[in-house]
Amino acid sequence: MASYHLSVKVGAKGKASAHAEYIEREGEYKLKNNEKLEAVEHGNMPEWAQDNPNLFWQCADEFERKNGSTYREIEIALPRELTPQQRKELVQTFVEQELGEKHAYTWAIHNPKASIEGGEQPHAHIMYSERLQDGIERSPDQFFKRYNSKNPERGGCQKSNFAKTAEQRKTELVELRERFADLQNVYLEEYGHTDRVDHRSLADQGIERSPEKHLGWKGSQNQDVKDLVLEYREATQTFQTYIDYLPKHLASLDQEQQKQKPKPLTDEQKLKIVNQKTVEANKNTSEYKALFEKYRTQYIENTTKSELKEYQKQGADIRA
Give the catalytic positions in this structure: 22
Q: How many CB atoms lie within 10 A of CB 229?
A: 19
3-state SS class at 55:
helix
Q: How many CB atoms lie within 10 A of CB 54?
A: 17
3-state SS class at 65:
coil
Give kind and range of the element (H or E) at residue 131: strand 131-132
Q: How many residues does the chain have?
A: 320
Alpha helices in 134-222 (DSSP H): 140-143, 166-190, 216-220
d(CA 149, CA 155): 8
